[in-house]
Structure 1
Amino acid sequence: MRALAIVLLCLAVTWNYGSVEALRCIQCQSTNTTCETPILECNNGTADVSLELLKILKPDLATKEKGDKFRCFEVDVKKDENLVYIKGCIYDDVDVCTGETKEGAQEYCHRCTDDVCNGASALAINISLLLGLVLALRTYSKW
Protein backbone atom coordinates (compact mmCIF):
# COMPACT_ATOMS: atom_id res chain seq x y z
CA MET A 1 0.00 0.00 0.00
CA ARG A 2 2.86 2.37 0.83
CA ALA A 3 4.45 1.86 -2.60
CA LEU A 4 1.10 2.48 -4.32
CA ALA A 5 0.65 5.75 -2.43
CA ILE A 6 4.11 6.96 -3.48
CA VAL A 7 3.50 5.99 -7.11
CA LEU A 8 0.12 7.75 -7.17
CA LEU A 9 1.54 10.88 -5.60
CA CYS A 10 4.39 10.95 -8.13
CA LEU A 11 1.95 10.44 -11.00
CA ALA A 12 -0.27 13.27 -9.74
CA VAL A 13 2.64 15.67 -9.48
CA THR A 14 4.03 14.67 -12.89
CA TRP A 15 0.62 14.88 -14.52
CA ASN A 16 -0.05 18.34 -13.13
CA TYR A 17 3.31 19.86 -13.97
CA GLY A 18 3.97 17.94 -17.15
CA SER A 19 1.13 19.44 -19.14
CA VAL A 20 1.31 23.09 -20.09
CA GLU A 21 -1.94 24.80 -20.81
CA ALA A 22 -2.63 28.33 -21.98
CA LEU A 23 -3.84 30.89 -19.50
CA ARG A 24 -7.62 31.18 -19.36
CA CYS A 25 -9.42 34.37 -18.29
CA ILE A 26 -12.97 35.59 -17.85
CA GLN A 27 -13.78 37.93 -20.75
CA CYS A 28 -16.80 40.16 -20.12
CA GLN A 29 -18.12 43.67 -19.59
CA SER A 30 -21.13 44.10 -17.33
CA THR A 31 -22.84 46.16 -14.65
CA ASN A 32 -23.60 42.88 -12.90
CA THR A 33 -21.22 41.61 -10.22
CA THR A 34 -21.68 38.05 -11.51
CA CYS A 35 -19.75 38.78 -14.70
CA GLU A 36 -18.11 35.32 -14.70
CA THR A 37 -18.49 34.03 -18.28
CA PRO A 38 -17.27 33.34 -20.86
CA ILE A 39 -13.92 31.89 -19.88
CA LEU A 40 -11.61 32.11 -22.88
CA GLU A 41 -8.06 31.06 -23.64
CA CYS A 42 -5.59 33.94 -23.64
CA ASN A 43 -4.04 34.53 -27.03
CA ASN A 44 -3.32 37.44 -29.35
CA GLY A 45 -6.96 37.59 -30.46
CA THR A 46 -8.51 37.86 -26.98
CA ALA A 47 -5.76 40.25 -25.84
CA ASP A 48 -6.33 42.49 -28.89
CA VAL A 49 -10.08 42.66 -28.19
CA SER A 50 -9.43 43.69 -24.57
CA LEU A 51 -6.77 46.18 -25.65
CA GLU A 52 -9.12 47.93 -28.07
CA LEU A 53 -11.85 48.12 -25.43
CA LEU A 54 -9.43 49.48 -22.84
CA LYS A 55 -8.09 52.09 -25.28
CA ILE A 56 -11.63 53.48 -25.55
CA LEU A 57 -11.85 53.65 -21.75
CA LYS A 58 -8.25 54.85 -21.28
CA PRO A 59 -7.06 56.61 -24.48
CA ASP A 60 -3.59 57.23 -23.02
CA LEU A 61 -3.02 53.57 -22.16
CA ALA A 62 0.64 52.83 -22.85
CA THR A 63 1.17 49.82 -25.08
CA LYS A 64 4.57 48.39 -25.72
CA GLU A 65 5.50 45.74 -28.23
CA LYS A 66 2.99 42.91 -28.19
CA GLY A 67 4.49 39.66 -26.97
CA ASP A 68 3.33 36.12 -26.35
CA LYS A 69 2.85 36.41 -22.59
CA PHE A 70 -0.51 37.33 -21.12
CA ARG A 71 -2.29 38.27 -17.89
CA CYS A 72 -5.90 38.28 -16.79
CA PHE A 73 -7.29 41.58 -15.55
CA GLU A 74 -10.30 43.21 -13.96
CA VAL A 75 -10.98 46.95 -14.10
CA ASP A 76 -14.04 48.34 -12.31
CA VAL A 77 -15.16 51.83 -13.31
CA LYS A 78 -17.83 53.89 -11.59
CA LYS A 79 -19.83 56.02 -14.00
CA ASP A 80 -22.68 58.04 -12.51
CA GLU A 81 -24.21 55.59 -10.02
CA ASN A 82 -23.26 52.44 -11.94
CA LEU A 83 -20.22 50.24 -11.49
CA VAL A 84 -19.02 48.65 -14.74
CA TYR A 85 -16.91 45.48 -14.52
CA ILE A 86 -14.46 44.85 -17.35
CA LYS A 87 -12.60 41.53 -17.32
CA GLY A 88 -10.36 39.97 -19.90
CA CYS A 89 -6.97 38.93 -21.13
CA ILE A 90 -4.24 41.46 -21.91
CA TYR A 91 -0.62 41.42 -22.97
CA ASP A 92 1.77 41.05 -20.04
CA ASP A 93 3.51 44.37 -20.79
CA VAL A 94 0.29 46.43 -20.74
CA ASP A 95 -0.44 47.87 -17.30
CA VAL A 96 -4.20 48.33 -17.37
CA CYS A 97 -4.19 49.80 -13.87
CA THR A 98 -2.38 53.00 -14.82
CA GLY A 99 -3.76 56.02 -16.60
CA GLU A 100 -6.89 58.09 -16.37
CA THR A 101 -10.28 56.89 -17.53
CA LYS A 102 -12.06 58.89 -20.22
CA GLU A 103 -15.39 58.67 -18.40
CA GLY A 104 -16.05 57.73 -14.81
CA ALA A 105 -13.54 56.87 -12.13
CA GLN A 106 -11.54 53.67 -11.73
CA GLU A 107 -12.66 52.02 -8.50
CA TYR A 108 -10.63 48.80 -8.65
CA CYS A 109 -7.95 47.22 -10.81
CA HIS A 110 -6.25 43.84 -10.63
CA ARG A 111 -3.85 41.92 -12.91
CA CYS A 112 -2.92 38.28 -12.38
CA THR A 113 -1.38 35.25 -14.06
CA ASP A 114 -3.35 32.24 -12.76
CA ASP A 115 -6.23 30.58 -14.60
CA VAL A 116 -9.50 32.47 -14.14
CA CYS A 117 -7.89 34.68 -11.47
CA ASN A 118 -10.01 37.65 -12.55
CA GLY A 119 -13.16 36.05 -11.13
CA ALA A 120 -14.91 36.42 -7.81
CA SER A 121 -13.57 33.11 -6.55
CA ALA A 122 -10.06 32.82 -7.92
CA LEU A 123 -9.07 30.01 -5.54
CA ALA A 124 -8.62 26.76 -7.43
CA ILE A 125 -7.79 23.42 -5.85
CA ASN A 126 -6.01 20.77 -7.85
CA ILE A 127 -8.04 17.69 -6.96
CA SER A 128 -5.62 15.02 -8.18
CA LEU A 129 -2.71 16.52 -6.25
CA LEU A 130 -4.90 16.85 -3.16
CA LEU A 131 -6.05 13.21 -3.40
CA GLY A 132 -2.47 12.01 -3.82
CA LEU A 133 -1.41 13.97 -0.75
CA VAL A 134 -4.30 12.61 1.33
CA LEU A 135 -3.50 9.05 0.26
CA ALA A 136 0.18 9.50 1.13
CA LEU A 137 -0.70 10.99 4.53
CA ARG A 138 -3.09 8.17 5.26
CA THR A 139 -0.45 5.60 4.35
CA TYR A 140 2.25 7.11 6.58
CA SER A 141 0.11 8.00 9.58
CA LYS A 142 -2.36 6.22 11.83
CA TRP A 143 -5.31 8.03 10.26
Structure 2
Amino acid sequence: MRRTVAALAVVLALGLAGCGDEDSALDHSEPAQIRVDIEQQNDSGETGTAALFLLPERQTQVTLELNGMPRDSLQPAEIRTGTCDDLDAEAAHTLRPVRPNPNGFGRSVTRLPVGLEELESGGFAIVVRRSAASEVLAACGGIPTP
Protein backbone atom coordinates (compact mmCIF):
# COMPACT_ATOMS: atom_id res chain seq x y z
CA MET A 1 0.00 0.00 0.00
CA ARG A 2 2.83 2.39 0.88
CA ARG A 3 4.52 1.71 -2.47
CA THR A 4 1.27 2.44 -4.30
CA VAL A 5 0.81 5.74 -2.46
CA ALA A 6 4.45 6.69 -3.06
CA ALA A 7 4.20 5.82 -6.76
CA LEU A 8 0.98 7.81 -7.06
CA ALA A 9 2.63 10.81 -5.36
CA VAL A 10 5.54 10.68 -7.83
CA VAL A 11 3.17 10.48 -10.82
CA LEU A 12 1.12 13.43 -9.52
CA ALA A 13 4.24 15.51 -8.86
CA LEU A 14 5.55 14.89 -12.37
CA GLY A 15 2.14 15.64 -13.86
CA LEU A 16 1.88 18.95 -12.02
CA ALA A 17 5.41 19.89 -13.00
CA GLY A 18 4.47 19.34 -16.63
CA CYS A 19 1.56 21.79 -16.34
CA GLY A 20 3.97 24.72 -16.32
CA ASP A 21 5.33 23.83 -19.75
CA GLU A 22 2.24 25.16 -21.55
CA ASP A 23 2.80 28.68 -20.22
CA SER A 24 6.44 28.68 -21.20
CA ALA A 25 5.47 27.79 -24.77
CA LEU A 26 3.24 30.88 -25.08
CA ASP A 27 4.64 34.02 -26.67
CA HIS A 28 4.64 36.73 -24.01
CA SER A 29 6.74 39.18 -26.01
CA GLU A 30 3.76 41.33 -27.05
CA PRO A 31 2.19 43.43 -24.29
CA ALA A 32 -1.57 43.27 -23.83
CA GLN A 33 -1.85 47.00 -23.09
CA ILE A 34 0.00 50.25 -23.74
CA ARG A 35 -0.60 53.43 -21.73
CA VAL A 36 -0.19 56.82 -23.39
CA ASP A 37 -0.01 60.08 -21.43
CA ILE A 38 -2.03 62.79 -23.19
CA GLU A 39 -0.72 66.33 -22.60
CA GLN A 40 -2.32 69.68 -23.30
CA GLN A 41 -1.52 71.55 -26.49
CA ASN A 42 -2.01 75.26 -27.19
CA ASP A 43 -2.87 76.02 -23.54
CA SER A 44 -6.10 74.00 -23.75
CA GLY A 45 -5.87 72.70 -20.18
CA GLU A 46 -6.89 69.25 -21.43
CA THR A 47 -4.90 66.25 -20.19
CA GLY A 48 -5.53 62.57 -19.78
CA THR A 49 -4.56 59.08 -20.80
CA ALA A 50 -5.17 56.60 -23.55
CA ALA A 51 -5.03 52.84 -23.12
CA LEU A 52 -4.45 50.63 -26.14
CA PHE A 53 -5.60 47.05 -25.59
CA LEU A 54 -4.72 44.06 -27.73
CA LEU A 55 -7.87 42.31 -29.00
CA PRO A 56 -8.26 39.03 -30.88
CA GLU A 57 -7.85 38.92 -34.65
CA ARG A 58 -5.20 41.66 -34.79
CA GLN A 59 -7.46 44.41 -33.52
CA THR A 60 -6.79 47.15 -30.97
CA GLN A 61 -9.17 48.95 -28.64
CA VAL A 62 -8.26 52.56 -27.87
CA THR A 63 -9.82 54.02 -24.71
CA LEU A 64 -9.17 57.76 -24.50
CA GLU A 65 -9.98 59.72 -21.32
CA LEU A 66 -9.58 63.50 -21.02
CA ASN A 67 -10.03 66.02 -18.20
CA GLY A 68 -10.47 69.77 -18.53
CA MET A 69 -12.58 69.72 -21.68
CA PRO A 70 -14.85 72.67 -22.48
CA ARG A 71 -18.54 72.06 -21.78
CA ASP A 72 -20.73 71.14 -24.72
CA SER A 73 -17.76 70.40 -26.97
CA LEU A 74 -17.30 67.48 -29.34
CA GLN A 75 -13.63 67.00 -30.13
CA PRO A 76 -12.31 64.80 -32.96
CA ALA A 77 -9.61 62.31 -32.01
CA GLU A 78 -7.23 60.41 -34.27
CA ILE A 79 -3.92 58.65 -34.54
CA ARG A 80 -1.42 60.41 -36.79
CA THR A 81 2.03 59.56 -38.02
CA GLY A 82 4.73 61.63 -36.37
CA THR A 83 5.36 63.13 -32.96
CA CYS A 84 3.37 65.75 -31.08
CA ASP A 85 5.93 68.32 -32.30
CA ASP A 86 5.88 67.18 -35.93
CA LEU A 87 2.63 65.51 -37.08
CA ASP A 88 1.32 64.48 -40.47
CA ALA A 89 -1.71 66.53 -41.50
CA GLU A 90 -3.83 63.45 -42.25
CA ALA A 91 -5.09 60.87 -39.77
CA ALA A 92 -3.66 57.36 -40.03
CA HIS A 93 -6.60 56.07 -37.94
CA THR A 94 -9.75 57.94 -36.91
CA LEU A 95 -10.98 57.52 -33.33
CA ARG A 96 -14.44 58.25 -32.00
CA PRO A 97 -14.82 61.89 -30.97
CA VAL A 98 -14.61 62.84 -27.29
CA ARG A 99 -17.63 64.51 -25.64
CA PRO A 100 -17.32 65.75 -22.03
CA ASN A 101 -19.75 65.40 -19.17
CA PRO A 102 -20.72 68.57 -17.22
CA ASN A 103 -17.51 68.24 -15.16
CA GLY A 104 -15.24 68.36 -18.22
CA PHE A 105 -14.39 64.64 -18.25
CA GLY A 106 -14.65 62.97 -21.65
CA ARG A 107 -14.22 59.41 -22.80
CA SER A 108 -13.99 57.75 -26.20
CA VAL A 109 -13.69 54.04 -27.01
CA THR A 110 -12.73 52.88 -30.52
CA ARG A 111 -11.94 49.47 -31.98
CA LEU A 112 -9.33 49.62 -34.76
CA PRO A 113 -8.68 46.93 -37.40
CA VAL A 114 -4.91 46.99 -36.78
CA GLY A 115 -2.71 45.05 -34.40
CA LEU A 116 -1.16 46.65 -31.35
CA GLU A 117 2.32 45.85 -32.67
CA GLU A 118 1.73 48.15 -35.66
CA LEU A 119 0.77 51.09 -33.44
CA GLU A 120 3.77 50.61 -31.15
CA SER A 121 6.21 50.22 -34.03
CA GLY A 122 7.12 53.88 -33.66
CA GLY A 123 6.16 57.20 -35.08
CA PHE A 124 2.49 57.46 -34.03
CA ALA A 125 0.70 59.94 -31.77
CA ILE A 126 -2.85 60.27 -30.47
CA VAL A 127 -4.23 63.75 -31.09
CA VAL A 128 -7.42 65.54 -30.06
CA ARG A 129 -8.48 68.63 -32.00
CA ARG A 130 -10.45 71.53 -30.52
CA SER A 131 -13.32 70.98 -32.96
CA ALA A 132 -14.19 69.39 -36.28
CA ALA A 133 -13.83 72.80 -37.93
CA SER A 134 -10.37 73.44 -36.45
CA GLU A 135 -6.96 71.86 -36.98
CA VAL A 136 -5.75 73.39 -33.68
CA LEU A 137 -4.75 70.62 -31.29
CA ALA A 138 -6.18 70.48 -27.78
CA ALA A 139 -4.15 67.47 -26.60
CA CYS A 140 -1.55 65.00 -27.84
CA GLY A 141 0.40 61.97 -26.67
CA GLY A 142 3.07 59.91 -28.40
CA ILE A 143 2.52 56.15 -28.52
CA PRO A 144 5.63 54.63 -26.91
CA THR A 145 7.71 51.90 -28.50
CA PRO A 146 8.60 48.76 -26.52
TM-score, length-scaled by structure 1: 0.28
Higher helix share: 1
Larger Rg: 2
* Structure richer in strand, relative to its length: 2
Determine which structure has greater relative contact order: mean sequence separation of CA pairs < 8 Å that are 6+ residues apart, divided by chain length.
Answer: 1
TM-score normalised by structure 2 residue count:
0.28
